[in-house]
Amino acid sequence: MTSTKKEPVLVVLQLAGGNDALNTIVPYGNPKYYDNRPNVMISQDQVLPINDEIGFNPNMGPMKRLFDEGHLAVIQGVGYPSGSRSHFRSMDIWHTCEPNKVGDEGWLGRVVRELDPTQENVLTAVNFGRGLPRALVAPGVPVASVGNLETYGVLTGIDDVDQRLKALDVFSKVYSPMIGQGPVLDYLAHTGLDALKGADILSAAPEMYSSTVEYGGVGVRQYMRNIVQTHLAGFGSRVFYTTAPYNSFDTHAGQLANHTRLWSETSRAVADFYDDLEEHNAGEDVMLLVFTEFGRRVHDNGAGTDHGAGGHAFIIGKNVKGGLYGEYPSLDDDKLDEGDLQFNTDFRSLYTTILEKWMGLDAKPIVNGAFEHIDFI
């Protein structure tokens, strides 16, 4: 069934591993940056300036272009109180909006439940990548999870139902230790095979698609292209999710080379995604959120950087009011949080703005509270 009504669509790109905020939006005008990064720094002449103080990583040219065109917002210093340096705990907080306990429902799972309470469309939410992010998990909410749209995905290539159930057992083993076997098995019983049926429907999307955009780079390129293919197919999907390769942004060592490659690939994929939507006159109803679970330590470790706190997020879209939002975290010693950047924008304000001003939903029951809007919409 093809949807003809254009509803707002949210796309989420997760930079797994903890992207280094300081080497992404670089405070090249602050000597303290160079004092703290003798081994892992970006020289002033390489930075793509935003103003006299900060600028984009030199490998983010395609995203800088979107910023200059007014379609990319930089949300500075994003985080949450009492930050965790654990990948799993921090990502769980971002995924469930539960900073004080282990959550059992993902924020986007709640969104899908609000958008499609009677579960009429098994493709309301689609994840591209292996597994299923906790952000999309909620009882009774089917989510199609696809590995590669052109080759029918991870689970969708399994024809036998028994084999599919075995594949879903992997999901159970991952999440049961965190939220208990009962909720996980209940989730699978109600949604697992429906989600796989949705992924089967998705296999038709590439046949309906053509584009002059070539999607340079690797990594997230395929998934961003798959999202456009699915959006253009008109299946009525409202939420898309994908993740940069597992923990790829966890740059404890070899950071300069690895971060260069990561942002070259990711920035190109994001800009190609935007350009592809524009080519098909389909960008008006799509907004992209790019986030990571935390930033990294202010001082380098000799070859890279270790887990930190405050980071940056990006919002991209034709209807986004581009620019800088929030305050860049201070590098003054007395303003650091045990060597980490202090956050100054709660990530739930970011979610609240997207939910209420873009998706048209009441954010309070989804993010577990009331948070201020940010003016990027």
pLDDT band for position 163 (50/70/90)?
Answer: low
Using alpha carbons, list the distances in angstroms from residue 201 to 3, 109, 172, 195, 333: 14, 20, 24, 10, 54
Contacts 24+ apart (CB under 8 A), 277-283: 277/228, 277/231, 277/318, 278/318, 279/211, 279/212, 279/213, 280/211, 280/228, 280/232, 282/228, 282/231, 282/232, 283/317, 283/318
For 194-246, how does the pLDDT look when each residue is reduced to its tens digit (9 = 90+)? 555 666 678 778 888 999 999 875 668 989 999 999 999 999 999 999 998 76
Domain ranges of the chain: 9-367
Name the CATH topology of 9-367.
Alkaline Phosphatase, subunit A (3.40.720)
Q: Closest Cα to residue 341, out of 333, 353, 349?
A: 333
What's the predicted TM-score (pTM) here? 0.88
Higher-scoring residue by pLDDT: 274, 90: 274
What pLDDT digit, counting tens, does each position of 267-324 carry? 999 999 999 999 999 999 999 999 998 888 899 999 999 888 889 999 999 999 999 9
| pLDDT higher than threshold 80 for residue 158 | no
